[in-house]
Structure 1
Amino acid sequence: MKILVIDAQGGGIGKQLVAAIKQSIPNAVVTAVGTNSTATAAMLKAGADYAATGENAVVVGCRNADIIVGPIGMVIADALFGEITPRMARAVGQSAAKRIMVPISHCDNIVVGVADLSISAMIQAVVKTIQGLAGNQG
């Protein structure tokens, strides 16, 4: 299973996602793509199998992934303080991969109708969702 983790800013959410996925689903191949080198480095340090940075890396990664994981802003152009370009958001949205979005309400994008969970609880929910999808592929 090829999992693409996308993050921006300092890569904190992506770092936690990569670490939790690698620990719980060791056979997953995790590619980390940061919108900047700081985010990429954080996810690589957390155990990503592969890593790249920038807009084209997001576009190419979305073509090859089975599952795309990241903050919900990854599908909103100009989100995450402008680090998500329209091309990135379109690539994620148009990908054939399953998308698992962490509902973070930041940068004037407010998500309603979801439980107010801690980041760690959301990370665990992501892992359980991926495990469920992995079980359905077998």
Structure 2
Amino acid sequence: MKIAVIDGQGAGLGKTFIKECKRAFKNNVYIFALGTNEIATLNMLKNGADEGFTGEIRIVDFLTKNKIDAIVGPIGILIGGGIGGEITSNISKVIFNLDCIKYIIPLQKHGIFIPGTRNLAIREIIKEIIEDIRCKNF
């Protein structure tokens, strides 16, 4: 299965997801690290991503030319200016239009609250995503 993980800044969320996903699926998953900056990409690669792409041009190019089973990232990936201004409108538009499942982590930052979401710890959210991926068996 092919999963893209997109993150910015230091990629704390991306690193955590990649470690847990590799632990759960071992060699049955290929993870693409999509970093909005070089540090984010490098941190995700150090934590087990198989391949990395950095910056708007490379992220958009990768997502438009490749078929992935799922993409994982914080809610800011759907909003131009998200992740501390590191998500461009081109990136968010391409992600929104992807023909794959999108696992959006509902971080309660920037005044965004999604009714119906539970106040779970990041590790609990990641565990829930991994269980859903396991059930889908891409």
How far has the Cα of 1:112 moved from its partner?
Answer: 2.8
Q: TM-score, normalised by structure 2?
A: 0.92
**Are 2:108 and 1:105 equivalent residues in the alignment?**
yes
Paired letter, 2:101: K
**1:30 & 1:93 partners in 2: Cα distance?**
19
The one-letter amino acid of 1:30's match is I
Alignment pair present for 1:49 and 2:44: no
TM-score scaled by length of structure 1: 0.92
Matching residue within 116, 120, 135 for 1:117: 120
What displacement does 1:109 show? Answer: 2.6
How far has the Cα of 1:56 moved from its partner? Answer: 2.1
Alignment of 1:1-138 (within 5 A): 1-26=1-26, 27-63=28-64, 64=66, 65-134=68-137, 137=138
Count of equivalent residues = 135
RMSD of equivalent CA atoms: 1.2
Deviation at 1:116, TM superposition (A): 0.3
Q: CA deviation at 1:81?
A: 1.3
CA distance in 2, matches of 1:28, 1:97: 15
Q: CA deviation at 1:50?
A: 0.5
Task: Look up the SS of the partner of 1:59 in the other structure.
Answer: helix
Residues 132 and 62 of structure 1, relative CA distance in 2, 3 Å threshold: farther
| 1:79–1:47 CA distance, 2 compared to 1 (3 A) | same
Secondary structure of the residue aligned to 1:25 is: helix
1:39, 1:57 → 2: CA distance? 14
